[in-house]
Amino acid sequence: MISPVMPVYAPAPVRPVKGRGSWLYEDDGTAWLDVVGGVAVNALGHCAPVLVEALNRQSEQLWHVGNGLQISGQRELAERLVASTFADTVFFANSGTEAVECAIKTARRYHAQKGASERVDIIGFDGAFHGRTFAALNAAGNKAYLDGFGPLMPGFRHAAFDDREAWERLIADPRAAAVIVEPVQGEGGARALDFAGLQHLRQICTRHGVLLIYDEVQSGMGRTGRLFAHQWVADAEPHIMAIGKALGGGFPVSACLATAEVAAGMAVGSHGSTFGGNPLAMAVALAAFDEISREETLSSARDRSEQLRAGLDAIMRRHPGVVLEIRGRGLLVGVQMVVGNKDFIRLAREFNLLVTGGGDNVVRLLPALTITEDDVSELLARFEKTCIAAQRFMAGAAAAAAAAAAAA
Ligand SMILES: *Cc1c(COP(=O)(O)O)cnc(C)c1O
């Protein structure tokens, strides 16, 4: 018998009913240190007072009207996003994958309007994740997520993250419309493209008239200690950018940003959304934006990132049999493991520590940008206890394997 909830997830045996800051609580009061934050969504922690206040205030005024009427919060949030990025215009949607969908449509439409309708190819990178709609799946090209869902869509090509010659060849192709890349891969295992790599990518895109799309759904909104991850790098701005996750601090909202030139084709009727940019979403996202973009929030995120990385480096030196490498940027941290990452995640729960996984056998740490110094210390202490447990677990598994081999 199938579960009434379609069984596409395998949730951990934890059922939080309340959250405050970096902590989650179950019915019986059990407390969990949450270093997942709904996968980089709760950038301000759980139930941040400014967000609770914004949601409550708006919920008594107006929830939803649809985009057939003017929604005042949209203009305010769009103006803030435009003022703090390369972009001139913003489309609001509800999820990351929809923002990516809009990015791809905007790119193709730009070329079509210029009379270059042969330019349709979207170039993606291995290890990428862009969401679960068809275009996003085809852009990422992850076979496991495409399996059984019919033919691959035409117009998508892929290059290895490290293979710069392959990028250049695909971008030089006259059918190329756009490159889509996460400046720091999230699901791929906190893999950051180096600064020179991003600059190089922008240069070859410019040279060949190909658009550059950043998927900053995970790396954006302060996650790396700047508002957007690519803003660490000079001369590497995109033409289009998809954002989501932390944009609403926990309220579902996303956006596709673009330059005026590139978005020129997105005229009335070319795209739309029922819920996109609704009053509730805008009220919460405005409050989240103002809080996340404050210099105090971003500099605190950078300080906590240094504290976390220094602590993890020390743990790696003390436990070389468990930890291989620390990667990522800011508070998008990946710890590559010797032990299976799923085993590590399970063992961490014995210490009431919630972490998540990523490609390349990585354990991903995505604390709130507002995590306190004490909570980072607590996180490091629990992480190290988990490393010790993982060492024991691996020794036990090895002994069991040896015993089984001897018995056979
Ligand atoms: C999570 C994520 C998405 C998809 O976002 P949804 O809200 O789940 O549709 C897209 N791109 C990146 C980089 C992500 O991390």
18 assigned to active site: no
Q: Whose CA is nearest to atom 5 of ligand 1?
A: 96
Closest to 202 measured CA to CA, from 252, 229, 167, 169: 167
CATH topology of domain 16-40+295-407: Aspartate Aminotransferase, domain 1 (3.90.1150)
**Beta carbon of 130 within 6 Å of any ligand 1 atom:** yes
The residue nearest atom 11 of ligand 1, judged by CA position, is 130
Query: What pLDDT digit, counting tens, does each position of 215-244 carry?
Result: 999 999 999 999 999 999 999 999 999 999
pLDDT at 161: 85
The CA-to-CA distance between both ends of the chain, in Å, stands at 38
Instruction: Please indicate whether residue 161 is annotated as part of the active site.
Output: no
> What's the pLDDT at 74?
98
Catalytic (active site) residue 194: no
User: Any idea what the Cα angle at residue 321 is, between residues 396 and 405, rounded to 5°?
Assistant: 35
> Of the residues 41, 94, 95, 97, which should be mutated to test ligand 1's pocket, given the most ligand atoms within 8 Å of the CB?
97
Token digits of residue 196? 């020179």
Q: How many helices (H) and strands (E) does the chain have?
A: 12, 17
Residue 201: Cβ-neighbour burial (10 angstroms; 0-12, 13-18, 19+): buried
Instruction: Kindly report, residue by residue over 32-91, the tens digit of the pLDDT.
Output: 999 999 999 999 999 999 999 999 999 999 999 999 999 989 999 999 999 999 999 999
pLDDT of residue 130: 98
At the topology level, CATH places domain 50-292 in: Aspartate Aminotransferase; domain 2 (3.40.640)
* Domain edges within the chain: 16-40+295-407, 50-292
Q: Is 220 in the pocket of ligand 1 (CB under 6 A)?
A: no
The confidence score (pLDDT) of residue 162 equals 85
pLDDT reported for residue 251: 98
Q: Which residues of the chain have pLDDT under 70?
A: none
Does ligand 1 come within 6 angstroms of the Cβ of 219?
Answer: no
Do residues 293 and 82 make contact, with C-beta atoms less than 8 angstroms apart?
Answer: no
Ligand 1 centroid to residue 198 C-alpha, Å: 20
Q: Do domains 16-40+295-407 and 50-292 have the same CATH topology?
A: no
| 240-243 sheet: strands from edge to edge | 89-93, 254-258, 240-243, 211-215, 176-181, 121-125, 156-159
* Euclidean distance between CA atoms 297 and 170, whole angstroms: 39
